[in-house]
Amino acid sequence: MALKLLELATTGLMGENAGKIASLLGEERSTVTGSLGSVCASVLAGIINKASAADGGLDLLTKIRAGGFNGNFLSTFGSMLSGGKPTNELLKTGHPLVSFLFGSNQEQLSKVIAAATGLSKTSVPSLMAIIAPFVMSIIGKQAASDNLDSEGLVNMLNARKFSVQQAAPAALASVLGLVSLSQLGGMPPSVPTGIPGNLASFAKGLWPFLLGIAVLGLFMKTCAHPPVKETPPPATEVAPDAAATAPDTAIVAPDSAAVAADSLGAFGEYELPNGVKLNIPEFGIERKLIAFIEDATKPVDKETWFSFDRLVFDTGKATLKPESQEQLGNINEILKAFPNVALKFGGYTDNIGDPQANLALSKERAEAVMAEIVKLGIDSSRLEAEGYGDQFPVADNATEEGRQKNRRVDCRVTKK
């Protein structure tokens, strides 16, 4: 069984250790306990991001060995939380490690974690300095047990990056210099040396010339034929009036992304009331949901639904694909920024196949979305899910395009 780094790190800090940490920081124990998942994921994200750099695996392995981050460190960790000299030594070890992982972005890191967890910004640096050596020691212990070299260490970390992407605050991406956490662990391209390198350099210099020829050819072709007026497909937004006939409608996710990227508009930074910044498209569900929540003139009702536009499931299953995590993370951050808001998720399918099987699938997909949001730290009491099968289609099931639109997940605000 593959080692679950994040789960192991979080579990190891629970219980008595969480109480000691809370006492050291002057924070409520419940706040510290609730933050452990996000903080451990943030540390792991920093480690994975470090590993993705050139020679990053070797740098990490060197740091692990030089710092004594191994099983021996883990066995004495609890005693280091008792205050006094042991705790000071732990902090003296941890602060440089956090600096190694996050560089000059530590202040921004503190803001992101504080906004995501409810911890005070003054507590976050100390908490990171306590947790970073613990997490690094779990990795070091595993690396020693499996006799991993630098390449093996990088492979081990990358194999676990999706669970980290899911649990870490979405705004952490900007701290790591990434557009989104879906880029976490991406290896930088390497340019070959010698004769292959010269060929690569030649090709790099040639491509603008080839692109110019292609553009010129396209221009000539356009001039030879009259332009054809295109009608853009309707944007997927709130469920149309047809759904309003349901007493309490809900909707389901498609097997593939429901909305074309160009219909979502340009991605841009949006700052939530708690200071967390999201990178979201101008016509995506996130901005529509935020606008509805913040508009005091729009009451909560059972007719106003918002369609997810970047959720992807395995075909015919309720298993979310990794590329769905970015949007789920954004919804999680929105719910954290608006703690009074509650949501309902629902599922729809097309009308192909057995109606009862469709109903079951739609319910499972709605519940899968809800479960992912709960995993990210939102209390389940704020969420609900329901499936409606092939009821209340928003497009013609006679066409593949229409059927794809009818396979969707929507959400509506039930409290704000």
Instruction: Give the domain CATH number at 397.
Output: 3.30.1330.60
Q: Final residue of a domain: which of 134, 160, 183?
A: 183
Residue 264 and residue 127 in one domain: no
Question: Per the structure, how many domains does the chain have?
Answer: 2
Domain boundary among 138, 156, 183: 183
Task: Note whether 19 and 118 are same-domain residues.
Answer: yes
Q: Smallest Cα–Cα separation from 395: which of 245, 236, 170, 275?
A: 236
Q: Tell me the residue range of the domain where 410 lies.
A: 241-415
Query: For residue 173, what pLDDT is reported?
Result: 86
* Best CA proximity match to 240, nearest among 50, 405, 21, 16: 405
The residue among 162, 183, 204 that closes a domain is: 183
Q: What is the pLDDT of residue 175?
A: 87
**Per-residue pLDDT, 357:** 93
pTM (whole model) above 0.85? no
Q: Could you tell me if 179 and 255 lie in one domain?
A: no
In a domain, 219, yes or no: no
User: What is the structure's pLDDT at 212?
Assistant: 54
Q: Look at residue 368 and tell me if it is in a domain.
A: yes
Residues of the chain with pLDDT under 50: 1-2, 188-204, 207, 215-216, 218-254, 256-258
Number of helices and strands in the chain (H, E): 17, 6
**Residue whose entry in the numeric block shows the structure tokens 């989104």:** 180
**Same domain, yes or no: 164 and 304:** no
Q: Across-strand partners of 386?
A: 346
**Does residue 157 sit within a domain?**
yes
* CA-closest candidate to residue 346, choices 252, 224, 271, 248: 252
Assess whether 166 and 261 both reside in one domain: no
361 within domain boundaries: yes
What pLDDT is stored for residue 264 in this prediction? 82
Report pLDDT for 211. Answer: 56
The amino acid at residue 203 is A
Separation CA 320–CA 368 (nearest Å): 8
pLDDT at 359: 95
Based on the domain organization, do 147 and 286 belong to the same domain?
Answer: no
So what's the pLDDT on residue 253? 39
Residue 195 lies in a domain: no
Same domain for 165 and 289, yes or no, is: no
Residue 210 domain-assigned (yes or no):
no
Per-residue exposure over 209-245, b if at least 16 CB sit within 10 Å of its own CB, e if not: eeeeeeeeeeeeeeeeeeeeeeeeeeebbbbeeebee
Q: What pLDDT does residue 248 have?
A: 38
Residue 56: its pLDDT value, please? 85
Tell me, what's the pLDDT at 194? 39
Whether 66 and 151 share a structural domain: yes
φ, ψ of residue 386 to 5 degrees: the values are -155, 150
Residue 210 tokens, joined: 């080839």
In this structure, what token pair is assigned to residue 158? Answer: 């990358």
Q: Can you give the pLDDT at residue 368?
A: 95
Quote the pLDDT of residue 271.
93
Q: Which amino acid is at 123?
A: S
Same structural domain, 385 and 269: yes
Has residue 191 been placed in a domain? no
148 domain residue, yes or no: yes
Residues 133 and 253 in one domain: no
Residues 159 and 245 both lie in one domain: no
User: Are both 169 and 263 inside the same structural domain?
Assistant: no
